[in-house]
Structures are given as C-alpha cells and as structure tokens.
Structure 1
Amino acid sequence: MTEDTFKLNTSKLVEKNNFEENPEDTGECWFSDSDAEEKMISFLFDNLGQLTINENSTMCDVGTGNGHLLFQLREEGFKGKFLGIDYSENSVEFAQNIAETNDIDDIEFEVVDIYDDNWKPTRQFDVLLDKGTLDAIALSGLKFNGKTAVELYAESVQKLLPSGSVFLITSCNFTEVELTKIIEGDFFKVWKKIDYPSFEFGGVKGQTICSIAFERK
C-alpha cells in the first residue's frame, strides 16, 4: 500500500470516528469549494429525457466514500435504485451507518474491487458516477500486469453500463484533454461537458476541475 493510499484510508477512518461522536458530521465532501457535486446534480436535471437520464434512472457511484453524492441526488428528487461501491470496507460501513442513522433505506452500499479479475457485476445502471475516484486511483500508483490502474479504469467500469448509458466523471487531477484520452476509446465517447470558471496564467487559460459526461458505446 502506498503512502498516498494510506492517507486516503486514514481520512475515511477519521470521518467514521467523527460521525460516531456526532451523527450530524457526515465527513468531507470532495470538491465542495468548486460546487462540483451541485454541478453534477444540476447536469443530470438539465439533461432529463436524454439518453438514459430520467427521474427513475438507476445510478451507481464508483468510489462512493461517505455516499454524499447519492444522498444528495435522492434528496433532490431522483427516485431510481442507487448503489454506492467502494473497495474500502470502512468507507462502505461509514456510508451505511449514515444511511441507517438518517432512516435512508433505499440506497445500497457494497464493497467492490473493480480491478478484481473475478469481479462480475450482477446488474448494470443507467448512470455511472465518479467524483474524484479516478483521482484517488491515480495517487495510488497501482499497476496490474504492467498497466497502471488509470489505464485500465475505463475497461473496468464499463462493465457497469449497457450501451447508450451515461458515465459522468469529475476530476481535479486531469485536464479535459487528459481525461478524455483516459476514458474515450473502445467503450466510451464524449457526450457533453460541464462548464466551470476558468483562469488565465502566463497567457494560458485553464480550470482547476473538469466534469465530462461520456456515452457508453
């Protein structure tokens, strides 16, 4: 286990302990400063009726952590079946505890390692979500059979989606060009993008975060 991965796991343990002491403390929300979560939810609302997005869409959150994104989607009115998956048992237990404490019984959480060769999803979803999970995977430096976990990511998550469905991913580690290069290919093609405020430095324009919606081929 790398040092970066250890730090991520430690953060989740701290969140869990804080929640046990104060049930109103549901932990950190990644990208809160950029309103990324709100923009992802708004994107789904703005595109209701397109591809496989509707109020009853089934959704899966990869690397769900404390489940915050799914809880917010439910609170905002999406009614489909939700599943949050994470390789960390502590994270899944934490999300389940939050759900139980808040009497939320219609969102499931499961421990899943998407890089396990024996992993075969028992169902597929209309919408797949990733808010910072690929970023965390990149920090881990993991490799499998000579390929990085980042290089294998699209091939791994495509198992969760049928043709024509939507994969909405947000990253602060990769530019739009880099993220497109990682995901687009045999399984996905770019569908739409979310606009964020840009900055200019040294005559070059850029942004600190990007969100891209891909369509499953």
Structure 2
Amino acid sequence: MVSSWLNLLAKFGFSNITGIDYSPSAIQLSGNILEKEGLSNIKLKVEDFLNLSPKLSGFQICIDKGTFDAISLNPDNAVDKRKQYVNSLSRVLEAKGFFLITSCNWTKEELLREFSEGFELVEELPTPTFSFGGRSGNTVAALVFQKS
C-alpha cells in the first residue's frame, strides 16, 4: 500500500514525498490513512507508471515494492512493459538518483539484468533466507540502484 512507505519516510524526517498508484481507490485510501496520521504534506497522484504524465519528474529517490513484479506478470507483452518501466524510471529520476526495489518474483541476478541499462547496483539489502536440500536462498530480493 502506498501510504505505509510514505508514512514511514515522513516519520524518519523525509520531506517532499510523492506517492503514486494507477488506482484512484488506492490513492483515496492512502490519503485517508495519511490524513488520520496527520501527514497532509505528502502528495498523492493517480499515475500509470507505464504512461506517465510529463509533469512527473525530478525525483531523487524512487521506491518500488511490488509494481515491477505486477507489471512482469502481465500476460500482454510483459517484456515490452518491463522495458517501458525502466524507461519511465529513467525519466522520473534525476541524474545520480537512487532506485530501491523489493521483489518477490525476481532474483538479484535477474534484476541486475533488467536494470543493466542506465543503472548501477549500489547495495543489496539483507532479506530473509531459507535452506532447502542443502542450498540457501532468499525469498525476496531488495536492491539499491543508482542512475548512471
């Protein structure tokens, strides 16, 4: 949900925060939650990340927790939609801006390939691990990229 990340960022002292979602209902719900928390200074916008309005730009940090995963599962030309996602991300991020992604569908190696054009890995964030059959792995990939 959009509001949980925004709420957390605001409580840690971040300002000039904007949350987007393609669903007007999700934006309305997030707005209600943020209002109850007294966080009326956070901007919320209905935006389709694959078809952004030209006004959306100039961000220093973009955070994704599930959008890239959802786009990747689209049965209608997912490969092109993933490329459009990367193009949209490049357009909205400032030079040297950061992109944080949490994915339960993609491994670190796969995400490195998907974001190889225009982004460099800065850090892999720790996530829960599991062991099965003598091998260990992660249930989630969480990476920080910087726009190059």
Using the size of structure 2 for normalisation, the TM-score is 0.89
1:115 aligned partner: 50
Please give the secondary structure, in 1, of the residue aligned with 2:113. helix
CA pair 123-156 structure 1, distance change in 2 beyond 3 A: closer
User: Aligned to 2:54, what secondary structure does the other structure show?
Assistant: coil
Q: Please tell me the residue identity of whatever aligns with 2:89.
A: V
| Amino acid corresponding to residue 72 of structure 1 in structure 2 | L
Q: Which has the larger radius of gyration?
A: 1
* Number of residue pairs aligned between Structure 1 and Structure 2: 148
**What residue identity is the alignment partner of 1:211?**
A
Task: Give the aligned partner of residue 148 of structure 1.
Answer: 80
Q: How many angstroms apart in 1 are the aligned matches of 2:48 and 2:19?
A: 12
Gaps in structure 1 of 5+ consecutive residues = 1-64
Question: Residues 97-141 of structure 1: CA distance to partner in whole angstroms, max 9, x if unpaired?
Answer: 11223321110100011222x632443111110111111222233
d(CA) in 1 for partners of 2:82 and 2:144? 18
Amino acid at match of 1:199: F
Partners of 1:123 and 1:173 in 2: CA distance: 27
Residues 103 and 188 of structure 1, relative CA distance in 2, 3 Å threshold? same
Within the candidate set 92, 95, 104, 1:163 is matched to: 95
Structure 2: stretches of 5+ with no match in the other structure: none
Q: Distance in 2 between matches of 1:96 and 1:142?
A: 31
**In angstroms, what is the RMSD of aligned CA positions?**
1.8
Aligned to 1:127: 61
Spell out structure 1 runs of 4+ moving beyond 6 A: none
**Cα distance, 1:143 vs structure 2:** 2.8
Q: Deviations over 1:45-80 (max 9, x none)?
A: xxxxxxxxxxxxxxxxxxxx34111101112x2232
Q: Would you say the 8 A contact 2:108–2:141 is kept in 1?
A: yes
Please identify which structure carries the higher strand content.
2
Identity of aligned residues (%): 30
